[in-house]
Amino acid sequence: MKKFKIFIIFFVILFILSNQLLADDIDFEGFDNSSLILEASSSIDEENIPTINSRSAIVYDRNSGTVLFGKNENEKRKMASTTKIMTCLIVLENANLDDIATVSSKAAGTGGSRLGLHTNDKISVRNLLYGLMLCSGNDAAVALAEHVGGNIQNFADLMNTKALELGLSSTHFVTPHGLDNDEHYTTAYELAVITNYALKNEIFKNIVGTKSQTITINNYSKTLTNTNELLGNLNGVYGVKTGFTNGANRCLVTAVKRDNMDIICIVLGADTKKDRTQDSIKLIEYVFANFSPFNLKEKIITEFENWKLCNINSFKISKGITNDIDLCLEELNYDFLPLNSNQIQNLNIYIYCDYIFEAPLERNHILGYLTVYINAKNILTLNIYNSNFISKKDYLTFFSDLLKDYVYYLESVFYFH
């Protein structure tokens, strides 16, 4: 009997430990967030490019889509509960937040970090989303997937369809929660693209920016606390998601806005929570210390207008009724680009354009292009086109112009004699 009790105790301990090892976002490292962040912030070298523990990382400028820092940012990796960024997005685009979901036994039995759902619980989609994004409930993830997609496979199909819509080629989803699966992966860069898109949804942005929230399950109240250690503790942080599994290690996606700069910082594959926190803070502080918003649109427009002023009379439209071409430049969809002082000094703009065309010249015909180089690297190309249609001369106009030229020639001959 004694041996049996020891066996049961051993089995229970093993079960708890295995759940922890497989769990996403369960914090058993015992760090105090505030002291951890203070320690990380005090060790920052703002001038030098940071050395980080994380296997993959990126700092992505939301305004321009520019990568300000990258480490293996295009390497496919498991991403743990940062998966739930896409899960939340799919639900927001396909469900009514006031709908009431009934929790299945499959959802209630999902391991890892949990909201604490039980079979046949009644809970709104809105409250499930808070359970998904604040306490990273894997049970909430399955409940949402089943409510929206009918089952996990159908929901994963919705996730993968959305990834394709966003132009992502190195991302694939199998589950709504992100527990380890070899066919479930993304890259730091593509996760930044997903996050940037999701943050354009105000409901998503409000949820991931919530530090704590009281929800109801079966009309009983429960208060949730956000697992994101930087939210509310580091200047400008307004989201978005933590993650941890054995296969993915520690992951953190952070959105930060200070003045005119709005960035997404992602670290994947950190060894410990301390490492992911320190790495994130190092990257965030490095970028804000060394980059500042440069008005690239204003610079481009000034260069283009000066070039146009010097070259507008050089255009020749062969057989056209006029040479009066209306030159336009493709619109840049952002104003500011974060640059460091070295990049600003080595920014150059070049304009390439043909000058002779044959009528008819269709409206919006591409005539040339403008390129922007930084440190001899092409970062941007914009097309130059005409906004007006120039028709071809008909025979009557052609002979009329020919006659005018002949008369002009005769007048000039008599004038000089």
Active site amino acids: 81, 84, 136
SS3 320: strand
CA separation for the pair 325, 323 (Å, rounded): 6
Domain parsing of the chain, residue ranges:
48-290, 295-395
pLDDT (0 to 100) of residue 24 = 58
Contact 79, 191 (CB under 8 A): yes
For residue 90, give Cα distances in angstroms to 119, 198, 282: 24, 9, 32
* Residue among 72, 36, 44, 47 nearest 57 (CA): 72
pLDDT (0 to 100) of residue 15 = 45
> What's the first-to-final CA gap in the chain, in angstroms?
133
Contact 334, 408 (CB under 8 A): no
Amino acid residing at 247: G
pLDDT (0 to 100) of residue 391 = 84
pLDDT (0 to 100) of residue 103 = 97
CATH architecture label of 295-395: Sandwich (2.60)
* Residue among 139, 112, 150 nearest 217 (CA): 139
Compute how many other C-beta atoms are within 10 angstroms of the C-beta atom of residue 153: 11
pLDDT (0 to 100) of residue 5 = 54
Ramachandran bin of 295, using left for φ above 0, alpha for ψ from -120 to 50, beta for the remaining angles: beta
* Local structure of residue 116 (DSSP, 8 states): -
Would you give per-residue pLDDT tens digits along the chain (417 residues)? 555 555 555 444 444 444 444 455 655 454 556 555 656 555 555 568 899 999 999 999 999 999 999 999 999 999 999 999 999 999 999 999 999 999 999 999 999 999 999 999 999 999 999 999 999 999 999 999 999 999 999 999 999 999 999 999 999 999 999 999 999 999 999 999 999 999 999 999 999 999 999 999 998 999 999 999 999 999 999 999 999 999 999 999 999 999 989 999 999 999 999 999 999 999 999 999 999 999 999 999 999 999 999 998 888 988 878 888 899 999 999 999 999 999 999 999 999 999 998 888 899 999 999 999 999 999 999 999 999 888 886 655 555 655 665 555 565 656 555
Q: Looking at the domain that runs over 48-290, which CATH code has it been given?
A: 3.40.710.10
pLDDT (0 to 100) of residue 17 = 43
Contact 92, 201 (CB under 8 A): yes
Contact 59, 289 (CB under 8 A): no
